[in-house]
Structure 1
Amino acid sequence: MQQQVYHSHAIQAWEQRWFGQQNSAYGLMKQVAWMTAQRLISWFDLQFESRNKATVAMCCGQGNNAGDGYLIAKYLFQAGFRVDVYTAPLGMSKDLHAAEQEARESGVRIISGFDFQQNYDVYIDALFGIGLNRQLNAEWQQIIQRVNAQYGLKISIDIPSGLQSDSGQPLPCAIKADYTFTALGLKAGLFTGQGKEYAGAVEVIPALPIDDALEAIAYLSPLTIKLPQRKAFGHKGSYGHVLVVGGHADMGGAVIMAAEAAFHAGAGKVTAVCDAKHHTAILARAPNIMLRDMNALSTSDVQALIAHVDAVCFGMGLGRDDWSKQQFERWFPLIQQSTLEVVLDADALWFLAESPVELNKHSYCTPHSGEAAKLLNMSVAAIESDRIQAIYQLQKKYAGQWVLKGAGSLILQEQLWICTAGNAGMGTGGMGDVLAGMMASLKAQFYEEIHLHEIVTLHALAGDDLAHKGMRGLQAQDMAQAVYRVVNGHTLS
């Protein structure tokens, strides 16, 4: 079963349905705290020589998330760990007061404020839960920064405090956790936007039975992807012919990387159409790529090319000048009228934003947040403030299928997927060109047998494979062999 991801409102409504069945809110708080504490105890026993030597600072805020923290502190203390609770003034919740009282009566030391009296092995964050939707004031920002400055292990309960649970954006700062134990179900903000930077490793505490009214907002793309085996009697015509179109006179690298990625992902044939000045460089690097001079093609030549390929990726290094516009206006209508699998990337998306049209269902668009902002006539900040809403707006406006690239890339087909693979080293020029080439290649080979989110994940896994010795200095031109390994089910990491 695919891992489901929920909007915070869906989680809160789920809780209310549970309480409406005469179940206790405080009972649920205790259940979440108990289950979390048991996971922590098991994990701490592997990390520390003995329980009475491990020191834990529990940081509690003013809401129900703090109630979880008090109870977890109680259970850890009872298990033999040395626990101190640092706390803000209590809020109005009856359950919060009850949890604080239980912790106090168990013997846990409760200290007002967040001036840590010693260095602790572990700092547990129970400051804010999923209901936080406002910018933190200066005092809370200082508290979060103080926790982050400590050297011990950081663990967040439910969501790293300060992180918006649906968008993954800090408000404006958040706890940088090594681990997050999230209650009931996975929240989208743990995986997209800046969520990966703050959440660390994520584990669910499943304290409620799922009911029929609970609906997922997205699914996590599986990390294990098996492509169909090749037939012994196959030949180059069996595995798809990819057309890579772009390559302005001043920008040849993007076409090279896309075309190489298409071959290394398994395409039988690849043709690159670009300015002829790049042909020598392409042949020197990859002599198996067939070449056509974009400037020498008539409209009938373009039609003939389109008729003899299975997929096209269009826009890499196309440019945005008058020549680029003329090429877009010639190629784009012919591509859209075809039945090809079509990947639109880079400058093709820029021209699409200039002249919006409805795309056919075989069109796959791959903007980053800057390109998405252009397509929706919004700011980049607005895109990043709600990436999930942005990708739905893109599909509503243009149709087609969409990938909103970035940390925790979003993929919208019939449903929404989140890619959890990938790394910060992939934030470098050319990675998008590699993705476009892979998408065209795998769609040319498998059509509906492979899903868009699987291709995005394979690309991210290739990036992880390339980064097995370090993320700094990764270059997209080195992705080819990593792509080859992941599509064959092998990695170095």
Structure 2
Amino acid sequence: MHKLPIKLYRAAQVRELDRIAIQERGIPGFELMSRAGYAVFQCLRNKWPYAHSVAVFCGAGNNAGDGYIIARLALEAGFDANVYSVSDPEKLTGDALTAYRKFIEAKGTVVSFHSDLDIETDVTIDALLGTGLDRPITGVYAEAIAFINNNLKHVIAVDIPSGLNADTGNVMGYAVKAECTVSFIGLKQGLFTGQAADYSGEIFYASLAVPDDVFESVPSSTVRVIKTRFPERERCAHKGHYGHVLVIGGEQGFSGAARMAGEAALRVGSGLVSLATRPEHAGLMNLNRPELMCHGVENAGQLERLLDKADVIIVGPGLGQSGWANELFSVAINSQKPLVIDADGLNLLARAPAAKPNWILTPHPGEAGRLLQRGTAEVQQDRFASVAAIQAKFGGVAILKGAGTLIASEDELAVSTSGNPGMASGGMGDVLAGVIAGLLAQGLPMKEAAQQGVHIQGLAADRAVEKDGERGLLASDLMSHLRQLVNS
């Protein structure tokens, strides 16, 4: 097994990598299949060293060939290894057929799957379907997947959980819920977003010893975000070196949103943070955080003086959609300052679409649907296409929040896998807007500020749940961890 690569691929790109390895580099297809089977078997032994039995579920394609190799290796190692096939293995072709026959030569047996089987096993191998799935699963494959999910334990998915779309991460009707997945040659982008988080389990990677230059021949579709180290501060630094963030928001009843965005910007290192809010809130919002400079703003004229002093502007946390909100939003987006648009700022933008190169948009799927004039379900059907469409329509950098948050810039699509379900609580988006703006204020380029902001916020949430668990996590619980992360 290898450290997970940064580059991710669509299914068609992985097939091209496979073709180059076989046809241009002369690696026999059966050799690659054998390496894949060995990688899964090693994963089995490493994770469950006391296992003595394995049930391998095989389909009708090359994924089944991997399964037969795993079963043969297990048999030869003294395991009680049983194969359950959903199709006639004699109808396999090419390398998969060879793998099946070698399993039979090793005295293996194959049982035709039916849902009345009584199976007891230590580990289950899902080798039903691979990355070529292009239609919803029905029939015996659906029955086999349901059987695995309802009756068996310690499931390893071969390359990708059967039923999971390798490009989108969505379930095609039914999908195997794996405890871990061993992915080969090119990591599939669908393993890292959408519904995949509930199906893929822990992800392992095996390159199958494909030469590095093969990967240089096929550009990746997406990259994984990894945390970078921020530069050390000079000893003679002062607050003016690290930017001034202005947060515009805090309609009546929603003052907390703007306050959290402002504190998050401070916690990641912004030199100064101002809040432009309803006059009724201005004297109260910094009672517990006096470092925030709070200003009551009634109209665009009063806001313009604050805009002149700011380096980065956040528009939207708790802003509302009133006439006051519309007036402040309009003057803010017409400034030439870098912008982070969140929450009601996005809803106002959806009403009057515009494109700018110097803003970062941070929608959740519902807000993304309004920006694209689509339903939320359609946005989620292909999150990669949706975030790319937002970026193409509105310019700048677009973020699509959720499990496996996506970040689209003009030249790159990225996914961050930090974070956890505890983040399903109010205020998390406000904190994210503040983190991103705080990094922008310190001079990070837009793409890097967006990618690192998303990733750091997720890491902060992961640290915050280590002791007390996910339920009850508050957005404000992230603040101390944000500070630690930008300094580590």
Normalising TM by the smaller chain, what interval?
A: over 0.9
**Partner residue, 1:185:** 186
Matched, 1:239 2:233: no
Task: Determine if contact 1:319/1:347 at 8 Å carries over to the other structure.
Answer: yes
Matched, 1:84 2:88: no
1:331 Cα offset (Å): 2.6
The share of aligned pairs that are identical, in percent, is: 34
What are the equivalent positions in structure 2 for 1:7-406 lying under 5 Å apart?
7-21=10-24, 23-44=27-48, 47-48=49-50, 54-90=52-88, 92-95=91-94, 96-114=96-114, 115-207=116-208, 208-210=210-212, 211=214, 212-222=216-226, 224-295=227-298, 297-299=299-301, 301-333=302-334, 335=335, 338=336, 340-360=337-357, 362-406=358-402
Specify the SS of the correspondent of 1:447.
coil
Q: Which moved more, 1:34-43 or 1:184-193?
A: 34-43
1:268 Cα offset (Å): 1.6
1:417 Cα offset (Å): 1.1
**Partner residue, 1:443:** 440
Structure 2 unmatched runs, 5+: none
Specify the SS of the correspondent of 1:273.
strand
Task: Determine if contact 1:119/1:152 at 8 Å carries over to the other structure.
Answer: no
1:351 Cα offset (Å): 1.4
Once the two structures are superposed, residues 162-196 of structure 1 have per-residue CA deviations (whole angstroms, 9 ceiling, x without a partner) of 11111000112211111100121100110011112
Q: Which amino acid aligns with 2:7?
A: Q
Task: Determine if contact 2:457/2:478 at 8 Å carries over to the other structure.
Answer: no
1:43 Cα offset (Å): 4.1
Once the two structures are superposed, residues 188-207 of structure 1 have per-residue CA deviations (whole angstroms, 9 ceiling, x without a partner) of 11001111221111112212
**Partner residue, 1:428:** 425
Specify the SS of the correspondent of 2:143.
helix
Task: Determine if contact 2:128/2:141 at 8 Å carries over to the other structure.
Answer: no
1:23 Cα offset (Å): 4.9
CA 1:4 to 1:298, structure 2 compared with 1: closer, same or farther past 3 Å? closer
Q: C-alpha separation between the residues in 1 aligned to 2:46 and 2:296?
A: 64
State the aligned residue count: 475
Q: TM (normalized to structure 1)?
A: 0.91
Q: C-alpha separation between the residues in 2 aligned to 1:243 and 1:418?
A: 28
Q: C-alpha separation between the residues in 2 aligned to 1:464 and 1:341?
A: 29
Q: TM (normalized to structure 2)?
A: 0.92
Specify the SS of the correspondent of 2:160.
coil
Q: C-alpha separation between the residues in 1 aligned to 2:74 and 2:284?
A: 63
Task: Determine if contact 2:300/2:328 at 8 Å carries over to the other structure.
Answer: no
Once the two structures are superposed, residues 298-350 of structure 1 have per-residue CA deviations (whole angstroms, 9 ceiling, x without a partner) of 52x433222212111111111123332233223322x3xx1x22111111111
Q: Which moved more, 1:101-110 or 1:180-189?
A: 101-110
Task: Determine if contact 1:41/1:76 at 8 Å carries over to the other structure.
Answer: no
Specify the SS of the correspondent of 1:16.
helix
Q: Which amino acid aligns with 1:238?
A: H
Q: Which amino acid aligns with 1:257?
A: M
Q: C-alpha separation between the residues in 2 aligned to 1:130 and 1:141?
A: 16
Q: C-alpha separation between the residues in 2 aligned to 1:457 and 1:196?
A: 16
CA 1:42 to 1:249, structure 2 compared with 1: closer, same or farther past 3 Å? closer
Q: Which amino acid aligns with 2:473?
A: L
Task: Determine if contact 2:297/2:303 at 8 Å carries over to the other structure.
Answer: no
Q: Which moved more, 1:449-458 or 1:304-313?
A: 449-458
Q: Which moved more, 1:53-62 or 1:22-31?
A: 22-31
Task: Determine if contact 1:401/1:412 at 8 Å carries over to the other structure.
Answer: yes
Specify the SS of the correspondent of 1:284.
coil
Q: Which amino acid aligns with 1:288?
A: E
**Partner residue, 2:484:** 485
Structure 1 counterpart of 2:412, from 411, 415, 429: 415
1:454 Cα offset (Å): 1.4
Structure 1 unmatched runs, 5+: none
Q: C-alpha separation between the residues in 2 aligned to 1:2 and 1:184?
A: 10
Q: Which moved more, 1:108-117 or 1:469-478?
A: 108-117
Q: Which amino acid aligns with 1:232?
A: R
Q: Which moved more, 1:236-245 or 1:427-436?
A: 236-245
Q: C-alpha separation between the residues in 2 aligned to 1:426 and 1:228?
A: 28
Q: C-alpha separation between the residues in 1 aligned to 2:249 and 2:139?
A: 49
